[in-house]
Structure 1
Amino acid sequence: MIKKKKVVIGFIGTQLDSGRGSGRWEKWRPTVALTQHEDIVIDRIDLLYSGQHEPLLAQLEKDIADTSPETKLRSHQLEIKDPWDFEDVYGCLFDFARSYPFDTDKEEYWVHITTGTHVAQICLFLMTEASYLPGKLLQTSPPRRQTKANFGEMTIIDLDLSRYDQIAQRFSREQEEGVAFLKSGIATRNARFNTMIDEIERVAIKSKAAILLMGPTGAGKSFLARRIFELKKARHRLEGKFVEVNCATLRGDGAGSTLFGHIKGSFTGAMSDRPGLLRTAHKGLLFLDEIGELGLDEQAMLLKAVEEKRFFPVGGDHEVQSDFQLVAGTNRDLGKEVAAGRFREDLYARINLWSYELPGLSGRVEDIAPNIDYLLSQYSAENGQMVRFNKEAKDSYMEFATSAQAVWAGNFRDLSASVTRMATLADAGRINDQNVGEEIKRLQRLWSHAHEGDGGNHELDLHDYLDAEQVAQLDLFDAVQLQAVLAVCLRSKNMSEAGRKLFAVSRSAKANPNDADRLKKYLNKFGLQWDALHRD
């Protein structure tokens, strides 16, 4: 294994490194002291400076040559105009790092943070943490007692926190707490959903980019958006408000006025200036639910606001500014909306960096039980009365709730309403078989009315999917079953979701259920393909 050269990068200490005459050897000078340790050989020192310090540099080069002939000194003059201006110092260091010929295979880099202004030290730390300077931090300090050996002490700080078990465990616990916060403490069991929430937690903390939440109505997009805001607020990533608007409620001139504000007299009824929701969300989070409902003009204005943090109010000649975090929600397929010309491709690209699809309740049957427990505890806290299921009643409700009969058309809104009704009607805080039986009938009636508006599940005409000869050869049993399966497929966004609905009971007995494959084989029996069922 090749022994790497040791290279130190740091600023000249215009005060600490100075000294004249023989007396300079009696004081601790951080840069010279690096070369005075008998057990450590520094191969090269890259010394950064601004201004005119050539005499000091010449003195340091001579003294280092005396103490450690093996050490080479290279100086780099940076065009820093104000050493106490963070932007100026960081920018110059960034340019230095980009042009520096790092060779991590042959050289080991230590970034010396003892000398230079406090601003310079902070910038060196940040550059090293971000790996623009690919090394470790070096902290030096003077000797604790005045002795003839004035080289002091050296401490190497590795910013790879994974090397420090206790720190890593703290960060791990903090992330787990963040994930639990996003889920409101609900012990969800759906693996795909849990993986998604894990990533959202990391993105919410680290990124200011827009987040797109997709999923059917009632899947929890608005709830999750607010939890993202509260998590960012708790971690001091945001200072402003949570501002929410359903874009489906915005129409005509009112859409632009509501979002971007307007100037007095800009249209009929504009009796005074209005700031608009984008400005209200300054330094906070703006949740635009059903963003696919926005008109093309408003989409163009929103794109400018997201990209440039500035925009024109309706009727205004002067731009205003607002720095907000955008979270968008939609139950539409925005990709198809772009293809149809109803949604701007450039806006879609801008908000699609972090996109997440929240599954409907029928696609998360594993999470029905923990959500029921959460809803009951919430009801109990709000009403001051503990409410629980009888065992038989809960078993009966869960059997129905996780079956193919439970379509959960309104997703978690349906579940929340259902639990609230049973809890309200429960005598002495106990939900019994009668409560459950009545609630199941109520849900079936609600869903049947909803399906009537869609033409009904059982109204499917098999001739639309099979040829006349195939239909004629089907037994009534097979025909009814195929109609039910097709109805579920048409209500589902993908084959996996449809499979989970259709095999909700039997899949629990399998170690590795492959719902999509089972459904694919069933459809193949009739010569049917998933993509063909969902053709436009």
Structure 2
Amino acid sequence: MKTVAISILGTVLDKRGKRGKRWDKWRPTVSMFQHDDLMIDRLDLVFDRNSQRLADQVTEDIYHASPETKVVHHYVNFEHPWDFETVYSELLDFCRSYTFKPSREQYLTHITTGTHVAQICLYLLTEAGYLPGKLLQTSPPRKNSAGENETHSGKNQSSAGEYQIIDLDLSKYDQIASRFQKEHKEGTSYLKGGIETNNPAFNTMIEQLEKVSVRSNEPILITGPTGAGKSQLAQRVYELRKHRGIIEGNLVAVNCATLRGENAMSALFGHKKGAFTGATTDRPGLLKEADQGLLFLDEIGELGIDEQAMLLRAIEDKRFIPFGADKETSSNFQLIAGTNKDLAKYAHEGKFREDLLARIDLWEYNLPSLKERPEDIEPNIEYEIEKFASKSGQLISFNKTARDIYLSFSQSPEAKWSANFRDLNASITRLGTLADGGRITAGLVKEEIDRLKTKWKVSKQSNDNPIEMTKDLIGEARFNHLDLYDQIILAGITKVCRNSNSMAEAGRTLFNQSRTTKKSTNDSHRVRQLLEKYGVSFDELNR
């Protein structure tokens, strides 16, 4: 593990003393290399171009004090060195452009040089994790009783002074640690793909996920229906973590539904040559490929029990045995799991290991379906239009009438959005492709609405599982909050409502016996009252 120091050039203190006399003066940057017990392999020296001559002199002196140390120059323009916002912005840009390698290098942030504003900014950036390492504080030599510098033997000259390495344990500073609201907002916006979403529950979830993404390396479980954006969210978590220097490896993503039998073991954990018929070479496996990076296992509920057991150990110990091998291998990966299944139910039925579920659901986030977020449909339409334009190189837009028709339909009970954002993406792609001159007209929108209705009608007729159908219609979160008894009852009501053209027709089916004993019946009212008990409407179940 190499030690790397990051330091701002001291334009005053590092310039003390002329010619050979400079070695009699304490110079903070040079002093770091005058201690026998502080070994630094590389110094990343930060300064503006006006200080190049001084930087060259300091670099030469560091070579004489510590020939094994490499000095790398970084130019940063501190246009207003006493303005906090300007300095912080410049140093934050430096951090973002810096390639951190935490698995191979440990970092020391020197906070003695630069203006007091710069020193404060370096502290805050280290405390927030943008500079992943410890603080290094250097100070002049102490005076003895005669008022002279205390001298040292060998490499430690009288100008060496003292140093202190400070390891910031953030848990000690919970009450006083500053929080960077601007950076937090940028992080949450990034996780949302830059879309200004309006759903309060979704926004709250993303705000917490941003904190977890940069503060925790524990597994994250993302649940939600197909097409809700689980893969895209995992991709953004990975990019945010890599951007902050938390991980340096690759994102390795796999849909577990595609893994079966020996192929599952081999794909995940690798295999040795000859482990089975067709294994003509060694294979490292996906877990190994994700070393120092992030592994995204989508549809984790589809994994076999044997693979689940090996995965659990790999998560806890970072070690596993490739298929056909007799020795363990290791991989230090971070995990995000995705599923559209009820894993708790799977665990109860013996289809999913309870211990694995307990390990991966420390941070669980449920992505709501598109129809559960009607207020977010409009900004997502804008996002899809921009994405189409970027991909096709063709600008497109709705005329006012077409936009009003499309938006009204997309937020209505008629819009099922059964494949969620995949449906929306496909819809905008079709509209953009057919738009002459890049203008989406009312005629095109009406054709697209008919196309969507037909598609969803076929999907509705093909769904013969009333429980899954109900869960899909009202959202898994709402459905799972009902007792099993109520889930069964509501599923039966849903099936009747979807086969009826009106509440009156549904009422005649549901109350076929009791209605015959009444002198006057209002079947629609009875159905409405029944549905209100479960917080749903006829239109919602019959969309």
CA offsets 1:102-132 (integer angstroms, 9 cap, x no match): xxxxxxxxxxxxxxxx99x99xx99x989xx
Say whether 1:434 aligns with 2:443. Answer: yes
Structure 1 distance, partners of 2:268, 2:240, is 24
Structure 1 distance, partners of 2:137, 2:292, is 36
Contact 2:528 2:537 in 1 (8 A): no
The CA deviation at 1:466 is 5.2
Structure 2 distance, partners of 1:465, 1:340, is 34
Structure 1 distance, partners of 2:302, 2:321, is 21
Counterpart of 1:185, as a letter, is G
TM-score, reference length from structure 1: 0.60
Aligned to 1:32: none
5+ long unaligned stretches in structure 2? 1-25, 27-106, 112-122, 129-135, 150-160, 465-494
Structure 2 distance, partners of 1:477, 1:438, is 33
Single out whichever of 281-290 and 465-474 deviates more from structure 2: 465-474
From 464, 469, 472, the equivalent of 2:513 is: 469
Structure 2 distance, partners of 1:291, 1:501, is 34
Aligned to 2:428: 419
Structure 2 distance, partners of 1:464, 1:353, is 48
Aligned to 1:310: 319
Relative to structure 1, is the Cα distance of residues 471 and 196 closer, same or farther in structure 2, using a 3 angstrom cutoff? farther
Aligned to 1:443: 452
Query: Equivalent residue of 2:253, what SS?
Result: strand
Aligned to 1:60: none
CA offsets 1:356-383 (integer angstroms, 9 cap, x no match): 0000001111110001101101111222
Relative to structure 1, is the Cα distance of residues 197 and 149 closer, same or farther in structure 2, using a 3 angstrom cutoff? same
Relative to structure 1, is the Cα distance of residues 162 and 436 closer, same or farther in structure 2, using a 3 angstrom cutoff? farther
The CA deviation at 1:317 is 1.1
Relative to structure 1, is the Cα distance of residues 210 and 163 closer, same or farther in structure 2, using a 3 angstrom cutoff? closer
Structure 2 distance, partners of 1:297, 1:465, is 48
Of structures 1 and 2, the larger Rg is shown by 1
From 350, 354, 364, the equivalent of 1:355 is: 364
* Amino-acid identity (%): 49
From 274, 279, 288, the equivalent of 1:270 is: 279
Contact 2:507 2:524 in 1 (8 A): no
Single out whichever of 257-266 and 458-467 deviates more from structure 2: 458-467
Contact 1:362 1:501 in 2 (8 A): no
Aligned to 2:486: none
Relative to structure 1, is the Cα distance of residues 466 and 314 closer, same or farther in structure 2, using a 3 angstrom cutoff? same
Relative to structure 1, is the Cα distance of residues 272 and 142 closer, same or farther in structure 2, using a 3 angstrom cutoff? closer
Query: Equivalent residue of 1:326, what SS?
Result: strand
Aligned to 1:458: 498
Correspondences of 1:21-36 after superposition (within 5 Å) = none
Contact 2:320 2:329 in 1 (8 A): yes
Relative to structure 1, is the Cα distance of residues 400 and 360 closer, same or farther in structure 2, using a 3 angstrom cutoff? same
CA offsets 1:226-280 (integer angstroms, 9 cap, x no match): 0101111111111111111111111111111111111122122222211111101
Relative to structure 1, is the Cα distance of residues 374 and 499 closer, same or farther in structure 2, using a 3 angstrom cutoff? farther
5+ long unaligned stretches in structure 1? 1-27, 29-117, 131-136, 490-494, 504-536
Say whether 1:292 aligns with 2:332. Answer: no
Contact 2:202 2:367 in 1 (8 A): yes
Correspondences of 1:176-187 after superposition (within 5 Å) = 176-187=185-196
Structure 2 distance, partners of 1:380, 1:248, is 33
Aligned to 2:353: 344
Structure 2 distance, partners of 1:464, 1:243, is 54
Aligned to 2:219: 210
TM-score, reference length from structure 2: 0.59
Aligned to 1:381: 390
Counterpart of 1:458, as a letter, is R
The CA deviation at 1:499 is 7.3
Structure 2 distance, partners of 1:353, 1:313, is 27
Relative to structure 1, is the Cα distance of residues 340 and 186 closer, same or farther in structure 2, using a 3 angstrom cutoff? same
Counterpart of 2:264, as a letter, is A
Structure 2 distance, partners of 1:482, 1:257, is 55
Aligned to 1:283: 292
- Corresponding pairs, count: 365
Say whether 1:391 aligns with 2:405. Answer: no
Structure 2 distance, partners of 1:256, 1:265, is 14
